Structure 1
Amino acid sequence: MGDLAELRKVLVLYTGGTIGMKKNHQGVLVPVPDVFTNKLKSCQELNDPDLARIYSVRNHELITKVSSCSKVIAYQVREYHPLLDSCNMTPKEWVIIAKNIEENYNEFDGFVVLNGTDTLAFTSSALSFMFKNLHKPIVVTGSMIPIFENPSDAKNNILSSLVFASISDIPEVCVFFANKLMRGNRVRKLATSSIDCFDSPNYPILAETGFHCRIHRHYILPKNDRSALLVHTCLSESVGILYMFPTLSRTQEGTLGPFVL
């Protein structure tokens, strides 16, 4: 047997969303608990039993080899109970996600958060401001089509997110979707009926996948190894977005009261 490829460990936090939904008897997509991880185990691209024996991974871990980066990635999936429709994501859930990452920070090389697409950009933006002195990647992703359907964008988004979460030189919160890695607080959902539904209008993408993986390192935040990780969990819910437009009146400003700067 030749030299073994480098093994990286990633924690996947499955909060809910379309990526793991199934259709009920009425044909409506709904969250279904305790089936998502078994689906991943059955996907050859996302789990290789032969590698599991070679690397002696634990029973609750999945493992996959990514030839493009010559790495083997062992990962654990932790499913939230209850699973959330992303419309119900609130600052309370963002704090739970952040604390879960903080509690497991020293055990893994990176983290993937699976989130519904409706609030995915809000989750990634919130997490980006909650973590200070981040030394490891946190990649937020999801899918427009459930992993149980064929075709689906789920497998590609999960596999690529695992790859980027295993790269230590990306020490920030990112979003991966449709072959693009983007800064977490610069992402917007621009479409509801396309798998290429997220974009970063005001900041260049950090990396892209396809025939080759290209990482634009000059756009990625520098790593600060000398400072300890800090996680801010005291969040205010008194936050809103006011788009400026020419006819903005004092009356409209007044509805926001003291929140107008």
Structure 2
Amino acid sequence: MKKRICILYTGGTIGMVPTDRGYAPKPGALAQYLKAIPDLASPEAPAWELVEMEPLLDSSNITVREWRAIGQAIFDHYDRFDGFVVLHGTDTMAYTASALSFMLENLQKPVIFTGSQIPLCRMRSDGRDNLITSLLIAAQGRAAEVCLYFGGKLLRGNRAVKRSADGLEAFYSPNWPPLATAGVNIQYDAGALAKPKATGELTLAAFEPVPIGVLKVFPGIQFELFESILTERLRGIVLETFGAGNIPDNGKSTLLPLIQRAYKNGTVLTVCSQCAQGSVHLGTYATSAALKDAGAVSGQDMTTEAAVAKLYYLFSKGYELEEIKRKVEENLRGEIS
């Protein structure tokens, strides 16, 4: 019997149409594009069904509300399908894939995010291969986790980073190997795939729009300019530091007093690196020891996208502050090596 795959279209370049203001999603357009791809009717293709989200959005407009809607759609259709292909715009795809990796608890079926840099309405669209290969991967069932497929590589969703605005190999995974590579055959890396989970029903962790910020350190940064946002309302901060977790420490920096105040306010500060590869090691250098002393926690080798999604998840679960800080540094969904 053929495997059944749900194609969940959220918007994004792959199904857009040209307008007077540039490419934009249009309800019903993707269904017409899919009818024009003969491979999707091939005997080798799994059975599939298209579900369109409403409204369709450019991924720049995706928020926590849309994350919840996508998660709910997968949850509602979970028993009817063997896997899911989520068509999504590339700009925030890594954020949404990271969010869904935490939101879908006890996931035991493939959820493959993909899209394109060129719309299906264009001759050279990369969307055809991305979609067809994603369908096959979802049907094969070996990657029973949230993944991102693009340009011949299957990546863990919460390890992926967008690296190119116009290249067809738009994503990469700096700190974890590809789960599979698609050439003549689809070759899986068994050691990179998530280990099969014990049986259990899928549950959906409903994310709340918790106030979370991202702050990138740069030479000469005047931290006092950000003082007004570091209030008790801000629940979490992802701080993108230099190297292995380093910050300016010339005796004039106002960052540490701000961090100490945030700590007293109950804000969780997660330290990630601006370097794509490598890990944060608080205390290795004197310029990072102060962060550790001020109560910051290490994001280790998490991407910023994964760190943001993880904070939303942990706060939405209602954990106590110390438990959140502990779990930030704990590997929950393969997001930390």
Counterpart-to-counterpart distance in 2, 1:250 and 1:133? 43
CA distance change for structure 1 residues 156 and 253 in 2, over 3 Å: closer, same or farther?
farther
> In proportion to residue count, which structure has more helix?
2
Aligned partner of 2:9 in structure 1 is 14
Partners of 1:42 and 1:17 lie apart in 2 by 19
Q: What's 2:32 paired with?
A: 38
- With normalisation by structure 2, the TM-score equals 0.66
Give unmatched runs, 5+ long, in structure 1. 1-5, 49-63, 67-71
Q: Do residues 251 (structure 1) and 252 (structure 2) align? A: no
Contact 1:131 1:232 in 2 (8 A): yes
Between structures 1 and 2, the one with greater strand share:
1
Deviation at 1:252, TM superposition (A): 7.3
Q: Does 1:175 align with 2:148?
A: yes
Residues in 1 aligned to 2:256 and 2:160: alpha-carbon distance in whole angstroms: 27
* Alignment counterpart, residue 161 of structure 1, candidates 134, 137, 140: 134
Partner Cα separation in structure 1 for residue 49 and residue 172 of structure 2: 28
Q: Which residue number in structure 2 is paired with residue 99 of structure 1?
A: 72
Deviation string for 1:12-62 (max 9, x for gaps)? 110000111111145x1111221111210121122x2xxxxxxxxxxxxxx
Which residue of structure 2 aligns with residue 53 of structure 1? none
Q: 2:159 & 2:57 partners in 1: Cα distance?
A: 24
SS of the equivalent of 1:243 reads strand
Q: For residues 181 and 252 of structure 1, what CA distance do their matches in structure 2 show?
A: 40
1:112-127 pair list within 5 angstroms: 112-127=85-100
1:65 aligns with 2:43: yes
CA shift, 1:236, in A, is 4.3
Q: How far, CA to CA, are the matches of 1:193 and 1:39 in structure 2?
A: 22
Q: Which amino acid aligns with 1:247?
A: P
Contact 1:169 1:223 in 2 (8 A): no
Q: 1:139 touches 1:165 (CA, 8 Å); kept in 2?
A: yes
How far 1:226 moved relative to its partner? Answer: 2.1
1:157–1:177 contact (8 Å) kept in structure 2? yes
Shift of 1:168: 2.3
Tell me by how many angstroms 1:238 deviates: 2.6
Aligned residues: 234
| Cα distance change on mapping 1:253 and 1:108 into 2, 3 Å | farther
State the shift of 1:79 in Å.
1.1
Change (3 A) 1:221 1:163: same
Which amino acid letter does the alignment assign opposite residue 14 of structure 2?
Answer: I
Secondary structure, in 3 states, of the residue corresponding to 1:36?
helix
CA distance in 2, matches of 1:163, 1:233: 29
Q: Which residue of 2 aligns with 1:58?
A: none
Check 1:218–1:251 CA distance in 2 against 1; reply closer, same or farther (3 A cut). closer
Higher relative contact order (CA 8 A, sep 6+): 1
- Residue 3 (structure 1) aligns with: none
CA RMSD of aligned residues (A): 1.8
* Partner secondary structure for residue 166 of structure 1: helix
Q: Kindly indicate whether the alpha-carbon contact (under 8 Å) linking 1:11 and 1:75 is maintained by their aligned counterparts in 2.
A: yes
Does residue 136 (structure 1) correspond to residue 75 (structure 2)? The answer is no
Following superposition, the deviation at residue 183 of structure 1 comes to: 0.2
Cα separation, 1, equivalents of 2:17 and 2:104: 33
Q: TM-score, normalised by structure 1?
A: 0.84
Confirm or deny: 8 A CA contact 1:134 1:223 kept in the other structure.
no
Q: Moved runs in structure 1, 4+ residues, more than 4 A?
A: none
Match of 2:204 in 1: 231
Q: Which amino acid aligns with 1:171?
A: A
Residue 78 in 1 paired to residue 56 in 2?
no
> In 2, Cα distance between the equivalents of 1:145 and 1:104?
29
SS at match of 2:129: helix
The one of 168, 182, 191 equivalent to 1:195 is: 168
Greater Cα shift, 151-160 or 219-228? 219-228
For the 8 Å contact 1:12–1:75, the answer to whether it is kept is yes
